[in-house]
Structures are given as C-alpha cells and as structure tokens.
Amino acid sequence: MTLGSLGRQHAEPTSVVTRWRSRRSRRQHQGVADNYFDEWIALRYRILWPHLFSPEVVDPAVAFLADLAGTGPALELGIGTGRLALPLSRRGISIHGIELSSAMVEQLRAQPGADEIDVTIGDFATTKVAGTFRLAYLVRNTIMNLTTQDAQVECFRNVAAHLDPGGRFAIEVVVPPWQRLQPGETIVPFQVRPDHLGFDKIDVATQNSWSHHYWFVDGEMKNFSAPFRYVWPSELDLMARLAGMQLRERWSSWDRDAFTSDDRSHISVWEKVD
C-alpha cells in the first residue's frame, strides 16, 4: 500500500468499498520503511483516532515525558502531527522529530507553535540528526511499525547514538495479545463500533501481524491495512542491552500504575549506560 493509492481511492464514488494494501513490507526488508500514513490518513488522523487527543490520554503522557526530558532537548521518533510534541514544546522543551510521512508533517506544520519544532524526514531506525538528546520517545505502538527484529534492534542502536550519557528512551507499546487468542485462532478484534471495525490477523510463530481497519467515513467504507511486528517486553530489554541501555522503569500507564501480567500495554524507559 502506498498513501498515494489511498488518496486516489478516496476520489471514487460513495458506497464503493475502497481498499489499499501494502506491497507487504518488502521494502523494509531491503532497508527502506514503507509509509502508511498518507495524505488521506494525515488529514483525518484526529477524526479516525479521537481518543488519542482527549486530555485524559494526552496530559499524563506529556507530564511523564516532560519529567524525563527535564530541560531537554528531546527526540520524538514518528512525530506524526505533533500530538505530544506540540504540548511538550509549549512547556519550553526543545523537540526534534523524525518522521517518514511528509503528509503527517504537513498537518503538524499547520498548527500554532510548529515553528519551534524541527523535523527530519526519514526512517527512525536509521536516520541521523544533529546533536544529542536527554530523552528519545516512541509512542502508540510505533516500534511495531518496524516489521523485522533487525529493524527494531537497529532503532535502539540509532536512539542510543542520539542520547546524552544517562539519557532515556521511552516506549509505549502493547504486549503481544497471545492471551486473547484461542489455540489455533489468528484473529484479535481491537475495535468494534458501528463506525469503526478493527482486528489484527496474527502469525504467532513470526510475531508478525496485519492490522485491518474498516471506517465508515463521509458515506464510504474505508479499509486501512498495515503490517506490524509484535515485540515482548523482555525482547525490548535485550534490544536495549545490545544498544548499551538498561531498563529503568516499566509501568502499565503514564500515571505510573504497576505493570502486571493482566496488562495489555506498557510504558518502558531505558537509560543509556555506556
């Protein structure tokens, strides 16, 4: 799938079921990440995922990250439309973003305060930016957009190369949902609403999955499908060790609630130790 194809599909008459799919993650295996966040998604990011913008979600995340960043600077991987970067910047923290999708950055640039934020277009697993940072962060399961273990390891190494000594790397990501799979099943629904159906189709052996969304927007049904790679908390800790970092904190929420075996996601923070 390309985001361009999504835009073309949107021009079709209403009631047409539009679909766009990736050319798998072939390009990522060749070292170039695919961009799924095209103009259609970028323009509707806030409408499609409204809960992400509620103060109950944004405020504790911003408070947590601001606490880690101190006086900054901070690096956001996959900065998107600046959902967290803009409020962090308004707190006086200097933010640099890395982002694959220029359409998402265009939406960031359209908002007040965006001039204070630098963005480099590129793949956060490999893209280098000038300077070092007190904090790097990667939220909303976006580590899983890197669909190979190698790419995820490379991302940790890239982050470590951008951190000050003692700098922190924070990730927000789901736990692989194997507990929700009956033996032999591969489908896990994550959203069942009249205007949005979403489910993952999972290959437990490879930890790879496809997320399928079906939205009913502007009188049309839109399908968005993208590949992911699930990653275990312990696996992330090992990736951090390979990159010279060690675990400092792991919570089930931005409010620092304890992480238990019942939790479906975690926020983890590693510190650069060498």
Ligand X SMILES: C[S@@+](CC[C@H](N)C(=O)[O-])C[C@H]1O[C@@H](n2cnc3c(N)ncnc32)[C@H](O)[C@@H]1O
Residues contributing to the site for ligand X (CB under 6 A): 33, 35, 37, 52, 78-80, 83-84, 98-101, 104, 123-125, 139-140, 142, 145-146
DSSP letter (8 states) at residue 262: T
Query: How far, in Å, CA of 126 to CA of 91, rounded?
Result: 28
In the complex, least distance from residue 239 CB atom to ligand X, rounded to whole angstroms: 15
Residue listed under structure tokens 């991302």: 155
Minimum gap (Å) between residue 16 Cβ and ligand X: 26
Eight-class DSSP state of 50: G
Supply the DSSP symbol for 176. P
Q: ω before 73 within 30° of 0 (cis)?
A: yes
Which of 98/117 has CB closer to ligand X? Answer: 98
Q: Which is nearer to ligand X, 53 or 232 (CB)?
A: 53
- Shortest distance, position 34 Cβ to ligand X, whole Å: 8
Task: Give min distance, CB of 240 to ligand X, in A.
Answer: 18
CA proximity to 120, closest of 109, 108, 112, 128: 128
Cα atoms found within 13 Å of the Cα of residue 109, Cβ hemisphere only: 10
> In the complex with ligand X, which residue's Cβ is closer, 66 or 84?
84
Q: Closest approach of Cβ 273 to ligand X, in Å?
A: 25
Q: Which is nearer to ligand X, 54 or 182 (CB)?
A: 54
d(CA 90, CA 69): 13
Find all residues with CB under 8 Å of 237, minimum gap 6, and list them.
247, 268, 270
Give the 3-state secondary structure of residue 84. coil
Q: Report in angstroms how near the CB of residue 218 gets to ligand X at its nearest.
A: 22
Which residue lies nearer to ligand X by CB, 150 or 185? 150
Pick between residue 111 and residue 179 the one whose CB is nearest to ligand X: 111
Task: Please identify which residue in the block is written with the tokens 């991987």.
Answer: 77
Rounded to a whole number of angstroms, the minimum distance from the CB of residue 123 to ligand X is 4
Shorter beta-carbon distance to ligand X: residue 24 or 179? 24
For residue 108, give the nearest of 80, 130, 147 by alpha carbon: 80
